[in-house]
Structure 1
Amino acid sequence: MLRAATRWAAGCWRAPYKYTLYRAVSLSVSPQSALADETLQIRVQGLSPREQVTIRAVVVDEQGCLFDSCAHYAADNSGTVDLQRDASLGGDYTGVLPMGLFWSLSPAVMEKPYQRLEKKSVHKSPMVMDMLVHKGHMNPRAIPKDMAAKIKIERQFCAPGVRRIRLREGAVRGSLFLPPGEGSFPGVIDMFGDDGGLVEYRSSLLASRGFASLALPYVAFEDLPPAMTEFHLEYFEEAAKFLFRHPKVRGPGVGVIGTGKGADLALSMITFLPQVVAAVSISGCCANTAANLNYKDFTIPGLTYNMSRVRVSETAVFDVSEALDDPLDPANSQCLIPIEKAQGSFLFVVGENDLNWKSSVYAKAAIHRLQENGKTNFNLLTYPGAGHRIDPPCSPFCPAAVDRVLGVPILGGGELKAHCQAQEDSWQKIQDFFCLHLTEAEK
């Protein structure tokens, strides 16, 4: 399967037909090599007036899985298709979506479904992608033919000069990404959900945008616990102290950004750790979830799941949106994170169509708790039509993905256009939030 996928991505697919190459047609992508969160300009020229074409994107990930997408276009009277201007008439999306080919990348028809396109080795090489133009409007799942033009592009996850330092500092594990240059930088700790492991692509992009970013795993990595059975906030405190004291990090403190389980850990960190002065919660819960959180002489119990409330679709996709116990039930009040004790600032980012759990409800409950205690140290970004995992811009929309813990595809919710627009909008606002609260005179 890997060899087959590689041959297709390389344009050498051995099938019982031959490509017809139309040399007059040109495909341009600008910039051809760019950071993965950048929007590109994509144009096809040299077509006949009103000619129909299919534009495709093809990429093989580091595990050998082939992802592809396609869209149907019609040239204007000059024989040009411009994705900044022209609407897709069909394929994997419709409408004027300049980055729609990236948004809609999904496992190819011969691959296992519900895999997530995610860059693992962000520092070693860019993500290389082929873009192709085919004559006519093709079925998105058909084997392509009649290739008219092709170009290879690169999606970079580290800007030139960004340094990656693997950490084994005391108990702390992870990767520290430092921007280029001599100055000190705002420091951010970056965490993801219960899939565990070391996830670096958001940290490397943050460093590319001027932040010293620590990608912090907390489960299922090296000598860290293999599963979420118990948490000790001292581990996260050690990470915060390390980043705060780093000579390349400026005060007045550090920030933390978390998605899913990483989001409620971020809320606990800003609540109890004085080094943390700004927290971004993406699709998080207002309670400590999954396992007990211990710190010094107290414990916040973990809000539990009831798997009997899980629903399974006809296509064997699991809907776990009702599985988590209700954090707003008075019986579960001991699981709530006392965020009103925090001295720092909060940014809540949620999709209103999150079907992993009710993150919009949880964010509003957290804000209500802050308001009840006279706090105004928060902002809320809420996006209609967006689902659970709100990543940096141009990340493919993945409405359902295989969960590492359960081993089955879990519904995340959302709609392609709304979700990907939420990713674009929130990314810059997250950076602005951290710049506002993490910037003071250099050390």
Structure 2
Amino acid sequence: MKEQVIAAAPGDVVEGVCVSPDRGSRAGVLVLSGSSGRIEADRCRVLAGAGLTALTVRWFGAVGQPSDIREIPLETFTSAIDLLLDTGVSRIGVLGLSRGAEAALLTAVHDPRVAAVVALSPTSLTWGHVTHRSSWTWRGAPLPYVPYDETWSPVLAPDGRVAYRTLYERSRDRFRDAARSAAIPVERTAAEIVLVAGGADAMWPSLPFAHDLAARRPVTLLTHPAAGHRIPLPGEPPLPPSPHHLHGGTPTADTTLGAAAWPHITATLLGE
């Protein structure tokens, strides 16, 4: 396995890691974290072990980038696809978790080079930032978005963590017109789509979102009623619990769903 640190101009892809099989690959995948903003090097190593060239980039929080998920240019991801193509791959996939799944789906809508999307704990809607601005732009224009219901009050678990699912449900229901305008138009992409969603997701209603996406075009949907928001792929090291957020699910159910989804994920990304 070959691993390379990627750096480019500020405001573009400024930090990342690319992992490729020793024998090379014709298929590449851009790997996007969720709102943690992590560089997903471990996930890339697992995907490279399955025969993929995997690139992960930091898409906010670095020098020259927005400090959080506010008006992120989708060109950040299309530029990363340019880097993947420079490695010699001919098939492009994008795999993202949570807000990264949102970015993956939107990138496929706007970039016809994307042949496959794997959306872990997806959304069917484009969400805004708390400052009443869109999370995303394309060619300088902000995308339509759903704002947040400012009347929502979090309910703390005994350990102080918060489940945000009801915030997204209430915001979607309160701002129905905005939600219609902000629906991610997955019917506009020819990419194959795999959705992986747990029925016990406590961060947002990823399974209802997945059903919304599946109602608009053919997808492969993998689910487990007791799985939560963070779905590990086989071979990944376990993540520690968040000190602030409730993700829902159980470790057993999360691992079971990741294992069940894995052959569909690899086959779709590899184009098999």
TM-score range, shorter chain: 0.7 to 0.9
Q: Which residue of the other structure, out of 381, 386, 393, is the alignment partner of 2:222?
A: 381
SS in 1 for 2:214: helix
Residues 388/273 of structure 1: CA separation in 2 closer, same or farther (3 Å cut): same
State the superposition RMSD in angstroms: 2.1
Q: Is the 8 A contact 2:25 2:51 kept in 1?
A: no
Q: Does 1:258 align with 2:96?
A: yes
- Letter of the 1:163 counterpart: E
Residues 381/282 of structure 1: CA separation in 2 closer, same or farther (3 Å cut): same
**Displacement of 1:353 after TM fit?**
0.7
SS in 2 for 1:411: coil
Number of the residue aligned with 1:283 = 121
Number of the residue aligned with 2:143 = 300
SS in 1 for 2:195: strand
Q: Which residue of the other structure, out of 143, 148, 172, is the alignment partner of 2:13?
A: 172
Q: Is the 8 A contact 2:71 2:142 kept in 1?
A: no
Q: For 1:199 and 1:225, locate their aligned partners in 2 and report how far apart those are by CA, in whole Å.
A: 19
TM-score, with structure 1 as normaliser: 0.55
Q: Is the 8 A contact 1:354 1:387 kept in 2?
A: yes
Number of the residue aligned with 1:420 = 255
**Displacement of 1:277 after TM fit?**
1.2
Asked which structure has the greater RCO (Cα within 8 Å, sep 6+), the reply is: 2
Q: Is the 8 A contact 1:162 1:208 kept in 2?
A: no
Q: For 2:177 and 2:36, locate their aligned partners in 1 and report how far apart those are by CA, in whole Å.
A: 29
Unaligned runs of 5+ in 2: none
Q: For 1:329 and 1:192, locate their aligned partners in 2 and report how far apart those are by CA, in whole Å.
A: 28
Larger Rg: 1
Structure with greater helix percent: 2
Q: Is the 8 A contact 1:355 1:412 kept in 2?
A: yes
**Displacement of 1:236 after TM fit?**
1.3
- Letter of the 1:360 counterpart: L
TM-score, with structure 2 as normaliser: 0.87
**Displacement of 1:172 after TM fit?**
1.3
SS in 2 for 1:187: strand
Structure with greater strand percent: 1
Q: For 2:38 and 2:197, locate their aligned partners in 1 and report how far apart those are by CA, in whole Å.
A: 23
Q: Is the 8 A contact 1:309 1:322 kept in 2?
A: no
Q: Is the 8 A contact 1:349 1:382 kept in 2?
A: yes
Alignment of 1:370-409 (within 5 A): 370=217, 376=218, 378-393=219-234, 395-396=237-238, 400-402=241-243, 409=244
Number of the residue aligned with 1:353 = 200
Q: Is the 8 A contact 1:197 1:221 kept in 2?
A: no
- Letter of the 1:312 counterpart: L
Q: For 1:382 and 1:309, locate their aligned partners in 2 and report how far apart those are by CA, in whole Å.
A: 29
Q: Does 1:209 align with 2:50?
A: yes
Q: Which runs of structure 1 show a deviation greater than 4 angstroms over 4 or more consecutive aligned residues?
A: none
- Letter of the 2:61 counterpart: A
Residues 386/223 of structure 1: CA separation in 2 closer, same or farther (3 Å cut): same
Residues 200/304 of structure 1: CA separation in 2 closer, same or farther (3 Å cut): farther
Q: For 2:76 and 2:6, locate their aligned partners in 1 and report how far apart those are by CA, in whole Å.
A: 17
Q: Is the 8 A contact 1:300 1:334 kept in 2?
A: no
**Displacement of 1:298 after TM fit?**
4.4
- Letter of the 1:295 counterpart: W
